[in-house]
Amino acid sequence: MRALRRTLGWLTGLVIVGALGLLLWATLRGRPQDLPWTPLDLGQPVGMMTGRKLVALRQDFPACRALLDAAGVAYTALPPRSGEGQCGYSDGVRFAPGGARRIAFAPAGLGIACPVAAALTMWEWTVVQPAAQRHFGKAVASIDHFGSYSCRRIYGRDAGTWSEHSTANAVDVAGFRLTDGTRITVAGDWKGDDPKAGFLHDVRDGACTVFATMLSPDYNAAHADHLHLDQAERGAMGWRACR
């Protein structure tokens, strides 16, 4: 028992030292978004804990809507929906024209779970627009998508795990349109070393910081024409997939 108490005391001390070190590090850098206990702000740069805070919004629809309101995102709340199996949602929102404040979605009227809307907002502001400026010197005017809600299992199988699309907790992004009309598609521009491919890979990598799951053409053939983004809960360890 004495040895066990010493071990527990050592582990407790290690946790305390680690927490104090994280607090000091984040404070000195002026990055509260790196701390697990600071409030989430969609207007702040992405921090180490941002992704986990976004996933946690699945449990608090009012808090998620408050974040969208504070960020100036135009949306309407959707009525609850139910369907076969686990299909349906109670935290859906639909982007109004103008979407995530500076961008549109095509087709218009994208309806998604609120945590996905919050992550899309941060992704556009902190990843997509900066990447477009780096590669093209232009802004992104709209994001092309294949939709969100679909009452189905993964890959449309008759049995097995339900897709995150079955709860509107995912969105499939097909491409982007710049302000000058240039179109970038996942299906046509993923491969190569030109600016379009560079842009797509940059936004894929950046999505991994705000979404729980990010699947691209590098994952498998089923994702050859889109980027799959979702906010699946991955347990206490916060496991995340990015490919």
Per-residue pLDDT, 84: 87
Helix axes 114-123, 195-207, angle to 10 degrees: 130
Instruction: Report pLDDT digits (tens) over 141-172.
Output: 999 999 999 999 998 898 999 999 999 999 99
Domain hosting 88: range is 40-242
Q: Whole-prediction pTM value?
A: 0.85
| 216 located within any domain | yes
- Per-residue pLDDT, averaged over 214-224, amounts to 96
- Looking at the fold, whether 104 and 55 belong to one and the same domain comes out as yes
Per-position b or e across 57-74, b if 16+ CB within 10 A of its CB: bbeebeebbebbeebebe
Q: Is residue 12 part of a domain?
A: yes
**25 and 44 belong to one structural domain:** no
Q: What is the pLDDT of residue 24?
A: 56
The chain-wide mean pLDDT, for the chain, equals 87
Residues 109 and 198 in one domain: yes
**pLDDT at position 236 over 50:** no
Among 108, 101, 189, residue whose Cα is nearest residue 139? 101
* Tens digit of each residue's pLDDT (9 = 90 or more) over 117-142: 999 999 999 999 999 999 999 999 99
- List of residues 6+ apart from 37 with CB closer than 8 A: none
Question: Does 120 lie in the same domain as 20?
Answer: no
DSSP calls for 111-161? EEEHHHHHHHHHHIIIIIHHHHHHHHSS-EEEEEE--S----BGGG-SSSS
Position 33 confidence tier, pLDDT thresholds 50, 70, 90:
confident
**23 plus 86 within the same structural domain:** no
Q: Are residues 14 and 103 in the same domain?
A: no
Note whether 63 and 164 are same-domain residues. yes
- The per-residue pLDDT for 23 is 53
Q: Is residue 113 part of a domain?
A: yes
Residues 2 and 109 in one domain: no
Angstrom distance (rounded) from CA 164 to CA 147: 12
Task: Say yes or no to pLDDT of 190 above 80.
Answer: yes
On whether both 87 and 183 belong to a single domain, the answer is: yes
Looking at the domain assignment, is residue 35 inside a domain?
no
Indicate the number of domains in the chain: 2
User: Both 135 and 15 in a single domain?
Assistant: no
Cα angle 119-121-124, degrees, rounded to a multiple of 5: 105
Whether the Cβ atoms of residue 51 and residue 212 lie closer than 8 Å to each other: yes
- Residue 11's pLDDT band (cuts 50, 70, 90): low
Instruction: Return the pLDDT at 9.
Output: 52
Identify whether residues 144 and 226 lie together within a single domain: yes
Q: What CA–CA distance (Å, rounded) separates 5 from 130?
A: 51
134 and 25, same structural domain? no
